[in-house]
Amino acid sequence: MYKETVMKHIVVDLEMNNVQRKSEAREICRLETIEIGAVMLDDNLQEMG
């Protein structure tokens, strides 16, 4: 029996802001993530449930 392989793609979108230069947080990182989005696509690049 032949089983079809389905390739899945995950697309992640990160929206970032610069951290102010005077901020103590800048010692850890220079950008802060303010929004995260993701979608899973099939072989035809159609959105999956």
Which tens digits make up the pLDDT trace of 19-48? 888 888 888 888 888 999 999 998 889 998
The three state secondary structure string of the chain is: CCCCCCCCEEEEEEEEEECCCCCHHHHCCCEEEEEEEEEEECCCCCECC
pLDDT at 24: 85
Overall average pLDDT of the 5-10 stretch: 81
Q: What is the pTM of this model?
A: 0.56
Confidence of residue 1 (pLDDT cuts 50, 70, 90): low
49 pLDDT higher than 80? no
Give the CA count within 13 Å in the CB-facing half-sphere of 26.
8
Confidence of residue 10 (pLDDT cuts 50, 70, 90): very high
